[in-house]
């Protein structure tokens, strides 16, 4: 019984983790059709931002929830203005340029921070579930994931910014005719996607530590989740994370982490074969 | 002169330069430079494998290093177990080819779009990296070959003349083998590309739907192309394992995958000679930058020896500024200058990837 | 009673909630030329795409010489003998005119014969002088002819033309009509068009599509006088 509860929390944690690392990408890819292969590095930079802030005395919660998103969001806007905006509509070229960016960022952080893993210990200690102990931080991660998804829903559905963003993505010239400035919307949207990614990286930093090449572990998974999720940003991310996170965690539990990854990839290939437009290509079609 | 005549001139030039290089280099140059050149040539074969499937086939594979690494590891494991090198060489070509056709089958017959293919192949190479990286203990072995995990597999027995175990290849022999192989692969690919098969895959790259509507099964053609690319990469991997007598999981890594793509972009998609030049050029550059770092160096030297940083910057710069790559861009400039003096020059044909946007009447 | 060349039975296609083609029964005899007209959105292009295998029908059947091709792959259907010139010119823009036609011809003719066929086709579409030009650089009308050349080079028994005269000059329209009449001497054709003058130049039988269904099928003179047809066009030159 306790084992079941533990497994349930692990699964929720895996799903939450996947959702967090993917939602920023879902906004950038889902809304802007931009494939950002430097996504893993945005996560990595979020982790570094949190750790550097903490080491300078900033409260850990502020570092994770405020500093990291702002820093990475700013970097995102810079990247959009200097690289991405010249490549709209050229999907393959965007992939290549952002891959170059990914290498560049890895090189830069290695030069600045060196190759070793830096970390901060997970706050909040552990909690008891029957005969097992697990980190309470796990629950914090799950809580952040829920909060972020709810927040995005609220913004997209009920705020002017959300409406403008959705309108611009669907029909930029029409939006421009109504007085919206599409380039600015693109920059802000990219920045927000980056900020959310930075937040995810910061939230996960205490769990695994940060080193320059940690992005590699995340980029494939988040892309698979976004592509598997389909066009709808929120319901796509939620449904795909739920599906893949569960499969990944159960496979890991039964065998090894490596096999868990293989199971995730296999599930993704099968899903794309059956539903080429992702989950929300067929289900939950008109949702956010 | 017609386009065909220019083509033949080009081929003759390559043949002459190539053969000259083959024969003269070991006589004119020191052994350690020969060693360095050998690995550049081996990597050039790898570059050609991606040039074929991407430049001509339009299949963007982010994980070409997967087949390269599989070739290297297959050779290493097989030669340790079998003792003679002929079968391992063949396996090193066959196994990556088989893997490529399996992966290709799922992707092309599943009609998965090009974008996803890039991500899937990237994931595959990363999975291979992670799996092999974690096989360090003695319990991980295939027959008498230990996988070695992150330590890699050292002391790989070199190729021998088929049938004669003791006649093993030496350093100079590796050079001859690598150069000859590169020339054979290059001319072989040129032949393939003027054949009907080659023209069809270019057509499929240009407009897959139109090719299908003419009756060509694009899935089969793409699968064949992808498999040939996998075989070539595996072959290069086998040569690589021989060159260093060593192979490690970094061969599957992201850095290796990135480099192959960068060689092709910098050199020029849609050409064969471009990626060869791009590959050799960038590798030479990497060695030169690394070698020039004095002890007690300041931060500038550090930047240049920071491989990911330099590669990343080059990739971004080329995608934004020189998207067609060096060889086509230089060729365009050259032709433009020549055209002002010789108006009868031929038009570009199927060798170029991009066409200028038409000015509609 | 000979089997019809092409027959559709109860052919339907819907995209989500939109019914693009509804219960279409259509028959074409060997060597027949039929014009397909109807307002935009009537389902003509969708109908074509189901004939070539670019789209799978939601219901109903497509029969080519009696064989059910409803679920067949596009390249298999092409090999059976159906060729299509699409609404937006669908050619190999990065290749030369000669290379474009060669790709088509070499699918059915071996080596030297293919080259001969290419030369003949270039003469037929009148682009011999432009054979070495990259197609992407040609004018719109010329690109349409390249596509026509490609389609004819695979020697199909049924040729579908989706707006072959679109965007052409008066001169080019006349030439296209002549070419179509010439093709019709040995091949069956279905031509989708909006230009009523053009239709008068080539058609005998016309099928009118509206809202995914076949509204009327009749001889061209009757169609042009039919008030129902005029209505659905709402002011197009049907009365001219």
Phi, psi angles (nearest 5°) of residue C159? -115, 125
Closest CA to B256 of B59, B33, B46, B99: B46
The answer to whether residue B307 scores a pLDDT higher than 80 is no
**Per mean pLDDT, which range of A35-49, B152-166, C3-17 is the poorest?**
B152-166
Burial of B242 (C-beta count, 10 Å sphere; 0-12/13-18/19+)? buried
What pLDDT was estimated at residue B199?
94
User: A258 and B120: CB-CB below 8 Å?
Assistant: no
Percent of chain B with pLDDT over 70: 89
Per-window interface: A 255-274 vs B, CB < 8 A: 258, 261-262, 265, 269, 272-273
- Report yes or no: A271 and B106 within 8 Å, Cβ to Cβ: no
Tell me which chain B residues have a C-beta less than 8 angstroms from the C-beta of A91: 115
What pLDDT was estimated at residue A30?
76
What pLDDT was estimated at residue C17?
81
Band the pLDDT of B222: cuts 50, 70, 90.
Answer: very high
The residue-averaged pLDDT of A73-82 equals 95
- B-C interface: how many C-beta pairs under 8 angstroms? 95
What pLDDT was estimated at residue B351?
43
What pLDDT was estimated at residue A208?
82
What the block records as the tokens of A84 is: 């991405």
- Report yes or no: C215 and C229 within 8 Å, Cβ to Cβ: yes
Band the pLDDT of A281: cuts 50, 70, 90.
Answer: confident
What pLDDT was estimated at residue B146?
84
The answer to whether residue B119 scores a pLDDT higher than 70 is yes
The DSSP result for A135-203, as a single string, is ETHHHHHHHHHHHHHHHHHHHHHHSHHHHHHHHHHH-HHHHHHTT--HHHHHHHHHHHHHHHHHHHHHH
What pLDDT was estimated at residue B246?
92
pLDDT in tens, B253-266: 877 888 899 999 99
Is C137 an interface residue toward B (CB < 8 Å)?
Answer: yes
What pLDDT was estimated at residue A135?
81
User: B309 and A108: CB-CB below 8 Å?
Assistant: yes
The answer to whether residue A166 scores a pLDDT higher than 90 is no
The residue-averaged pLDDT of A113-128 equals 78
Phi, psi angles (nearest 5°) of residue C120? -60, -45
The enclosing H or E element of C162 equals strand C158-162
B216 assigned to some structural domain: yes
Percent of chain A with pLDDT over 90: 33
What pLDDT was estimated at residue B301?
53
Tell me which chain A residues have a C-beta less than 8 angstroms from the C-beta of B319: 87, 93, 96-97, 100
Q: Determine the longest span between alpha carbons in chain C, in angstroms.
A: 54
CA-based nearest residue in chain C for residue B200: C103
Distance CA C215, CA C222 (A): 14
Q: How far is B308 from chain A (nearest CA, A)?
A: 5
Out of 3.40.50.300, 3.40.50.150, 2.40.110.10, 3.20.10.10, which CATH number does the structure's domain C1-81+158-167+188-240 have? Answer: 3.40.50.300
Q: Which of the other chains make 3 or more beta carbon contacts under 8 angstroms with chain A?
A: B
The answer to whether residue A153 scores a pLDDT higher than 80 is yes
Is B293 an interface residue toward A (CB < 8 Å)?
Answer: no
Q: So where are chain C's domains?
A: 1-81+158-167+188-240, 86-155
Is A91 an interface residue toward B (CB < 8 Å)?
Answer: yes
Q: How far is C21 from chain B (nearest CA, A)?
A: 22
The answer to whether residue C137 scores a pLDDT higher than 60 is yes
Q: Which of the other chains make 3 or more beta carbon contacts under 8 angstroms with chain B?
A: A, C
What pLDDT was estimated at residue A178?
76
Closest CA to A115 of A44, A199, A19, A210: A210
What pLDDT was estimated at residue B7?
81
User: C94 and B354: CB-CB below 8 Å?
Assistant: yes
Percent of chain C with pLDDT over 70: 96
Tell me which chain A residues have a C-beta less than 8 angstroms from the C-beta of B116: 227, 272
Per-window interface: C 32-61 vs B, CB < 8 A: 52, 54
Band the pLDDT of B293: cuts 50, 70, 90.
Answer: very low
Burial of A264 (C-beta count, 10 Å sphere; 0-12/13-18/19+)? buried
Tell me which chain C residues have a C-beta less than 8 angstroms from the C-beta of B196: 106
What pLDDT was estimated at residue C237?
46
What the block records as the tokens of B72 is: 């290297």
H-helix segments, A31-87? 32, 39-55, 60-62, 68-82
The residue-averaged pLDDT of B173-191 equals 94
Distance CA B243, CA B34 (A): 11
The answer to whether residue B355 scores a pLDDT higher than 50 is no
What the block records as the tokens of B51 is: 């040039």
Burial of A4 (C-beta count, 10 Å sphere; 0-12/13-18/19+)? exposed
Q: Which of the other chains make 3 or more beta carbon contacts under 8 angstroms with chain C?
A: B
What pLDDT was estimated at residue B354?
38
Q: What is the mean pLDDT of chain C?
A: 88
User: B123 and A220: CB-CB below 8 Å?
Assistant: yes
The enclosing H or E element of C35 equals strand C33-37
CA-based nearest residue in chain B for residue A222: B119
Band the pLDDT of C1: cuts 50, 70, 90.
Answer: low
Per-window interface: B 310-329 vs C, CB < 8 A: none
What pLDDT was estimated at residue C104?
94
pLDDT in tens, A229-261: 887 888 889 999 999 999 988 888 888 887 888
Higher pLDDT, B49 or C222: B49
Is C131 an interface residue toward B (CB < 8 Å)?
Answer: no
What pLDDT was estimated at residue B347?
52
The residue-averaged pLDDT of B344-361 equals 42
- A-B interface: how many C-beta pairs under 8 angstroms? 108
The answer to whether residue C131 scores a pLDDT higher than 60 is yes
Tell me which chain C residues have a C-beta less than 8 angstroms from the C-beta of B202: 95
What pLDDT was estimated at residue B352?
42
Q: So where are chain A's domains?
A: 2-214
The DSSP result for C98-131, as a single string, is HHHHHHHHTTTS-HHHHHHHHHHHHHHHT-GGGT
Q: How far is A223 from chain B (nearest CA, A)?
A: 8
Tell me which chain A residues have a C-beta less than 8 angstroms from the C-beta of B105: none
**3-class SS string, A94-143:** HHHHHHHHHHHHHHHHHHHHCCCCECCCCCCCEEEECCEEEECHHHHHHH
Q: Which residue range is the domain that position B231 belongs to?
A: 11-249
What pLDDT was estimated at residue B304?
61
User: B353 and C94: CB-CB below 8 Å?
Assistant: yes
The structure tokens 């175990």 sit at B165
CA-based nearest residue in chain B for residue C111: B196
Per-window interface: A 194-223 vs B, CB < 8 A: 213, 216, 219-220, 223
Secondary structure of residue C4 in the 3-state scheme: coil
- Give how far the C-alpha of residue B154 lies from the chain's centroid of Cα atoms, to the nearest Å: 24
User: C73 and B217: CB-CB below 8 Å?
Assistant: yes
Which residues on neighbouring strands pair with residue C191, listed in sequence order? Answer: C35, C161
What pLDDT was estimated at residue B292?
55
Phi, psi angles (nearest 5°) of residue B348? -70, 150
Strand ranges (E), chain B: 141-142, 145-146
Is C223 an interface residue toward B (CB < 8 Å)?
Answer: no
Is A275 an interface residue toward B (CB < 8 Å)?
Answer: no
What pLDDT was estimated at residue B272?
94
The structure tokens 């096989």 sit at B135
Distance CA A68, CA A80 (A): 18
Residue B89 has a CB neighbour count (10 Å cut-off) of: 23
What pLDDT was estimated at residue B1?
58
What pLDDT was estimated at residue B297?
42
Q: How far is B166 from chain A (nearest CA, A)?
A: 41
Residue B8 has a CB neighbour count (10 Å cut-off) of: 12
Is C87 an interface residue toward B (CB < 8 Å)?
Answer: no
The residue-averaged pLDDT of B104-131 equals 83
Distance CA A286, CA A235 (A): 10
- Report yes or no: C139 and C120 within 8 Å, Cβ to Cβ: no
Angle at B289 between CA B288 and CA B290, to 5 degrees: 90
- Report yes or no: B269 and B54 within 8 Å, Cβ to Cβ: yes
ipTM: 0.89
The answer to whether residue B299 scores a pLDDT higher than 70 is no
CA-based nearest residue in chain B for residue C95: B350
Q: How far is C239 from chain B (nearest CA, A)?
A: 31
Band the pLDDT of A286: cuts 50, 70, 90.
Answer: low
User: A258 and B127: CB-CB below 8 Å?
Assistant: yes
Which residues on neighbouring strands pair with residue C82, listed in sequence order? Answer: C158
The answer to whether residue A74 scores a pLDDT higher than 90 is yes
Backbone φ/ψ region at C232: left (φ over 0), alpha (ψ -120 to 50), beta: alpha
Is B7 an interface residue toward C (CB < 8 Å)?
Answer: no
Higher pLDDT, B306 or C159: C159
pLDDT in tens, C25-79: 999 999 999 999 988 888 898 999 999 999 999 999 999 998 999 999 999 999 9
Structurally, chain B folds into a number of domains equal to 1
Q: How far is B192 from chain C (nearest CA, A)?
A: 15
What pLDDT was estimated at residue B219?
95
Percent of chain B with pLDDT over 90: 45
The residue-averaged pLDDT of A187-197 equals 93
């Amino acid at each position: 019984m306790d084992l079941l509860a533990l497994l349930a929390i692990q699964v929720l944690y895996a799903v939450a983790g996947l959702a967090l690392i993917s939602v920023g990408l879902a906004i950038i890819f889902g809304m802007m059709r931009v494939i950002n292969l430097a996504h893993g590095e945005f996560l990595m930079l979020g982790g570094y931002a949190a750790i550097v802030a903490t080491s300078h005395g900033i409260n850990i919660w502020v570092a994770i929830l405020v500093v990291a998103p702002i820093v990475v969001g700013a970097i995102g806007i810079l990247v959009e203005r200097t690289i991405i905006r010249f490549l709209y509509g050229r999907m393959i070229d965007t992939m290549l340029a952002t891959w170059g960016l990914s290498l560049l960022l890895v090189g830069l952080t290695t030069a600045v921070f060196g190759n070793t893993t830096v970390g901060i210990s997970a706050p909040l200690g552990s909690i008891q579930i029957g005969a097992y102990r697990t980190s309470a931080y796990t629950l914090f991660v799950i809580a952040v994931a829920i909060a972020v998804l709810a927040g995005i829903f609220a913004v997209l559905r009920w705020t002017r910014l959300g409406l403008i963003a959705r309108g611009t993505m669907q029909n930029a010239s029409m939006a421009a005719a109504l007085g919206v400035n599409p380039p600015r919307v693109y920059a802000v949207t990219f920045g927000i996607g980056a900020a959310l990614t930075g937040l995810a990286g910061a939230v996960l930093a205490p769990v695994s530590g940060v080193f320059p090449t940690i992005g590699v572990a995340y980029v494939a998974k988040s892309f698979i989740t976004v592509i598997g999720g389909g066009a709808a940003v929120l319901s796509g991310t939620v449904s795909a994370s739920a599906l893949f996170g569960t499969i990944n965690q159960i496979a890991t539990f039964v065998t090894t982490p490596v096999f868990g990854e293989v199971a995730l990839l296999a599930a993704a290939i099968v899903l794309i074969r059956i539903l080429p437009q992702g989950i929300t290509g067929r289900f939950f079609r008109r949702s956010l | 002169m017609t386009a065909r005549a220019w083509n033949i001139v080009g081929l003759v030039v390559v043949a002459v330069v190539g053969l000259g290089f083959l024969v003269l280099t070991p006589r004119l140059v020191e052994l350690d430079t020969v060693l360095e050149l050998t690995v550049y040539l081996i990597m050039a074969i790898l570059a050609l494998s991606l040039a074929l499937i991407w430049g001509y086939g339009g299949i963007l594979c982010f994980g070409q290093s997967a087949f390269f690494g599989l070739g290297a590891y297959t050779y290493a494991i097989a030669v340790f177990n079998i003792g003679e090198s002929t079968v391992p060489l063949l396996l090193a070509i066959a196994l990556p080819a088989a893997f490529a056709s399996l992966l290709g089958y799922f992707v092309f017959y599943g009609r998965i779009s090009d974008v996803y293919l890039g991500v899937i192949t990237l994931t595959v190479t990363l999975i291979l990296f992670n799996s092999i990286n974690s096989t360090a203990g003695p319990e991980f072995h295939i027959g008498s070959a230990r996988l070695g995990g992150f330590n890699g597999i050292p002391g790989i027995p070199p190729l021998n003349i088929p049938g004669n175990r003791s006649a093993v290849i030496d350093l100079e022999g590796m050079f001859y083998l690598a150069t000859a192989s590169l020339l054979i692969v290059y001319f072989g690919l040129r032949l393939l590309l003027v054949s009907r098969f080659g023209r069809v895959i270019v057509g499929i790259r240009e407009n897959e739907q139109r090719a299908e509507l003419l009756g060509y099964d694009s899935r089969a053609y793409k699968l064949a192309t992808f498999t040939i690319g996998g075989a070539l990469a595996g072959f290069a991997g086998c040569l690589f394992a021989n060159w260093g007598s060593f192979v490690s999981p970094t061969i599957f890594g992201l850095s290796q995958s990135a480099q192959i793509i960068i060689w092709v972009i910098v050199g020029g998609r849609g050409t064969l000679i471009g990626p060869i030049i791009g590959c050799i050029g960038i590798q030479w550059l990497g060695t030169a930058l690394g070698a020039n770092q004095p002890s007690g160096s300041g931060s500038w030297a550090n930047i240049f020896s920071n491989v990911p940083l330099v590669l990343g910057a080059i990739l971004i710069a080329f995608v934004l500024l020189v998207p067609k790559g060096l060889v086509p861009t230089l060729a365009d400039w050259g032709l433009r200058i020549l055209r002002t003096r010789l108006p009868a020059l031929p038009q570009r044909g199927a060798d170029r990837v991009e066409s200028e946007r038409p000015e509609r009447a | 009673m000979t089997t019809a060349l092409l027959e559709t039975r109860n052919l339907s296609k819907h995209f989500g909630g939109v019914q693009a083609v509804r219960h279409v029964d259509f028959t074409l005899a060997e060597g027949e030329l039929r014009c397909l007209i109807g307002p935009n959105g009537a389902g003509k292009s969708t109908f074509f795409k189901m004939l070539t295998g670019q789209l799978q029908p939601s219901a109903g059947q497509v029969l080519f010489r009696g064989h059910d091709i409803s679920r067949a792959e596009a390249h298999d259907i092409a090999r059976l003998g159906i060729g299509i010139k699409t609404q937006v010119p669908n050619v190999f823009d990065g290749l030369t005119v000669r290379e474009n036609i060669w790709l088509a011809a070499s699918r059915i003719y071996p080596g030297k014969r293919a080259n001969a066929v290419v030369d003949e086709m270039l003469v037929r579409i009148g682009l011999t002088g432009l054979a070495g030009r990259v197609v992407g650089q040609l004018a719109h009308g010329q690109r349409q002819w390249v596509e026509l050349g490609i389609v004819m080079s695979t020697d199909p028994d049924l040729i579908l033309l989706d707006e072959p005269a679109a965007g052409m000059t008066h001169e080019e329209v006349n030439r296209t009509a002549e070419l179509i009449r010439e093709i019709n001497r040995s091949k069956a054709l279905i031509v989708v068009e909006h230009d009523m003058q053009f239709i008068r130049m080539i058609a005998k039988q016309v099928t009118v599509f509206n809202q995914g269904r076949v509204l009327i099928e009749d001889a061209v003179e009757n169609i042009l006088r039919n008030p129902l047809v005029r209505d659905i066009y709402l002011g197009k030159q049907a009365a001219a």
